[in-house]
Amino acid sequence: MTAAPLAASNTDLDDHVDNEIAEYINLDKPRSFFLFAGAGSGKTRSLVKALSHIRSTHGRQLVFRGQRVGVITYTNAACDEITRRIDFDPLFYVATIHRFAWELIQDFSYDIREWLRTKLAADIVELQKAEAKGRAGTQASITRLAQIDSKTRRRLQLDTIKSFVYSPTGENREANSLNHSEVIELCADFLLSKPLMQWILVGRFPFLLIDESQDTNKRLVDAFFATAVKHPERFALGLVGDVMQRIYADGKEKIEQGLPESWARPSKKLNHRCPKRIVRLINQIRSAVDDHDQESRSDAIEGFVRLFIRPANTQNRQAVESAIRAQMADITDDEQWRSLDDCKILTLEHHMAATRLGFEGILEPLLAVEAWRTSLLDGSLPATRFFTQNILPLIEAEQRRDKFAVARIVRSRSPLLTVEALKDSPDPGALLRRAQDAVTALMSLWKNGLPTCGQILDSVAASGLFTLPEVLKAIVALRSSQGNPQTDEAEKADPVTEETTALLGFLDAPFEQVGTYNTYVSGQASFDTHQGVKGLEFDRVMVLMDDAETRGFMFNYEKLFGAKAPSSTDIKNAQEGKETGLDRTRRLFYVTCSRAEKSLALVVYTENPAAMKAHVLARSWFAEDEIDDES
């Protein structure tokens, strides 16, 4: 009997792509490009190969010119990984978008000052107009007046500032510091309005490569686009990404469709991460969006996928999910499915994780402000960062009675004990006692139970222990005035902004939720989401989908799986080419499914199990024996 021929190896399928990119990153004839790199396609490997090619081919010439290669990545972890893989070569400047933007603008103190002067003046005028139309004494009025006062004081301080400072990972609480959003806005505005800034960019960085380009701030991407169009003979912009993996609201939608005709569009097709069965599934998921099908490696395992459909009224969901993991252990003959520590549990929506882990009091109010979602979920939102970076470490140090840690935190972060404050004070000892009294007052809040975030904020504001971020200063003024409420009629006629409502709701949350929230956004919790795991991979993945727990906020799994019809708004948005909740849900479902290296369990709770099963079978997402609906 003749043995069946071995399947031809396809592991070199995408090698030509790296050769193509090498042609584009040529100092004599640069060409901008967009590299499509789907899930598990080895985009980091291609990025590192491109950098190695630049070093071997153009390294000496770049050093002679005093130039470097810019590489923008989405996270600090990605920066560290790429830097390590290029042997920490100083020829390459690898940074997050905020750090890179600051690198470009940090020497332009005069321009920054004038930009801030203009912006603050415009903000003040808008607030004054709103105040003139509103009603005196309302919560909205109190907030506006506090904001006008804060912005006016900051504007008056501008002429005393010789240079500005910024830290991508710090508090940026000094009078001469810029916040994260200002750095992005400044860089984008300067690149678009000041021709000199474009010349500086291309002079310093003739090659700029951007990883996860679909999630990079759209205003800055547009500014880089404009630079590439203006300087095609001196500058190559290389975008790496996949529109199906765009998960942040401030990323650039449909980035591939807006590329100039002259750009190259190389594409990687091989998925090195996922087993064959999961590659077929994710191809089906994205087939309604584009034709970027992937191929699995010829030596990949077959793998396992199972869809578990459970009724929406299922009680004790965690017990149900534990039983499903036991089923997966039997199906896959992999006992590690039984251990929660050996599985990655993913949710498509943060509400689910917040409810299960117990920090919904923090997340839910703030998540309602669309402009804050990205920074809330990566831990950089000033309002939450104030608590996670200042209050939380101090409280934890006090509770474990670590006096040295308490002293270190207060000395390094409190405005009461800065070098300038101690030097200028006639009695430095008095400042030390004041700082100690502030810590004592803060800790006294625990004597009457568990304090809220608002009670802690009030204490810190009164003592001056830490500098408050601008966004919380107006809220402090509002909270201190709540003993003089206005009539319901006045408040309805002059309502507070959605940002103020969100902050007030957040401050009602128990402070104990801050630690859990911090663990979650740091990626250390048992549950994770699409944001936390993009770019990562796990042997065993369980994805939980439950519209009841997410309240249909931003995403809707029942519509994706056919248990509910699209809404009229979804249909209208789709007809107008706008993003729909179904689009967002499909993308995030793709990201979570594509994390699995061996086996994938999908758990969905629905009000209509029969319709859901029929829908996914009709679309060939799953075979009959891959669906468990307890029928």
> pLDDT for 334-356, tens place per residue?
999 999 888 888 876 677 778 87
Q: Residue 171 falls within a domain, yes or no?
A: no
- Is residue 417 domain-shared with residue 509, that is, in the same domain? yes
Which strand (E) or helix (H) includes residue 497? none
Looking up residue 322, the CATH number of its domain turns out to be 3.40.50
- Alpha-carbon distance of 529 to 349, in angstroms, equals 7
212 and 313 in a common domain: no
Could you list the residues known to form a binding site, using ranges: 37-44
Same-domain pairing of 59 and 194: yes
Helix/strand/coil for 534: coil
Judgement on whether residues 93 and 125 belong to the same structural domain of the protein: no
537 and 507: one domain? no
Amino acid at 385: R
CA distance 582 to 629: 23
pLDDT at 217 over 90: no
Domain extent at residue 118: 109-164
pLDDT of residue 488: 67
Over residues 478-506, the mean pLDDT reads: 79
Q: What's the CA dihedral at 576, 580, 584, 590 to 10 degrees? A: -70
pLDDT at 530: 46
Per residue in 552-567, pLDDT (tens digit) is 556 677 888 877 877 7
Cβ count near 3 (within 10 Å): 5
517 & 544 share domain: no
Asked, for residue 487, whether it belongs to a domain, the answer is no
Q: Is residue 594 part of a domain?
A: yes
- The confidence score (pLDDT) of residue 75 equals 78
pLDDT of residue 463: 94
Q: What does the block give as tokens for 274?
A: 């996922």
**Has residue 193 been placed in a domain?**
yes
| Closest of 618, 631, 630, 616 to residue 305, by C-alpha | 616
Could you list the residues known to form a binding site for ATP, using ranges. 37-44
Tens digit of each residue's pLDDT (9 = 90 or more) over 389-436: 999 999 999 999 999 999 999 988 898 888 777 777 788 788 889 999
**The pLDDT value given to residue 22:** 94
pLDDT digit string, tens, across residues 4-49? 455 688 888 999 999 999 999 999 999 999 999 888 898 889 999 9
448 located within any domain: yes
Residue 277 confidence (pLDDT):
97
Do 573 and 427 belong to one domain? no
Q: Is the pLDDT of residue 538 over 70?
A: yes
Based on the fold, state whether residues 374 and 432 are members of the same structural domain. Answer: yes
Within 425-487, where are the H helices?
428-443, 453-463, 470-480
What are 575-624's pLDDT values in tens digits? 777 777 788 888 888 888 999 999 999 999 998 899 999 999 998 999 99
Q: Supply angle C-alpha 264, 266, 271, rounded to 5.
A: 165
Q: Give a yes or no: residue 176 inside a domain.
A: no
- Reduced DSSP (H G I as helix, E B as strand, rest coil) percent helix, strand, coil of the chain, to 5: 55, 10, 30
Q: Taking a C-beta distance cutoff of 8 angstroms, is the pair 10, 295 a contact?
A: yes
Model pTM score: 0.81
**Within-domain flag for 169:** no
From first CA to last CA, the distance across the chain in angstroms is 44
Quick one: 372 and 513 in the same domain? Answer: yes
pLDDT tens-place string over residues 128-176: 999 999 888 888 898 999 999 999 999 999 999 999 999 876 666 677 8
Q: Which two tokens stand for residue 454?
A: 């608002």
DSSP 5: P
Predicted confidence (pLDDT) at residue 487 exceeds the cutoff of 70: no
Q: For residue 195, is it within any domain?
A: yes
Tally of structural domains, the chain: 4
Over residues 477-487, mean pLDDT: 70
In this structure, the answer to whether residues 403 and 305 fall within a common structural domain is: no
State whether 425 and 505 are in the same domain: yes
Backbone angles phi, psi at 40, to 5 degrees: 65, 20
Say which CATH number the domain at 70 has: 3.40.50.300
At residue 191, the pLDDT reads 97
> For 236-248, how does the pLDDT look when each residue is reduced to its tens digit (9 = 90+)?
999 998 888 877 6
Of the chain, the percentage scoring pLDDT greater than 90 comes to: 56
Residues 512, 415 within the same domain: yes
The pLDDT-based confidence of 1 (bands split at 50, 70, 90) is very low
**Mean pLDDT of the region 354-364:** 87
Q: How does pLDDT run across 70-113, given as a tens digit for each residue? A: 999 877 878 888 999 999 999 999 999 999 999 999 999 999 99
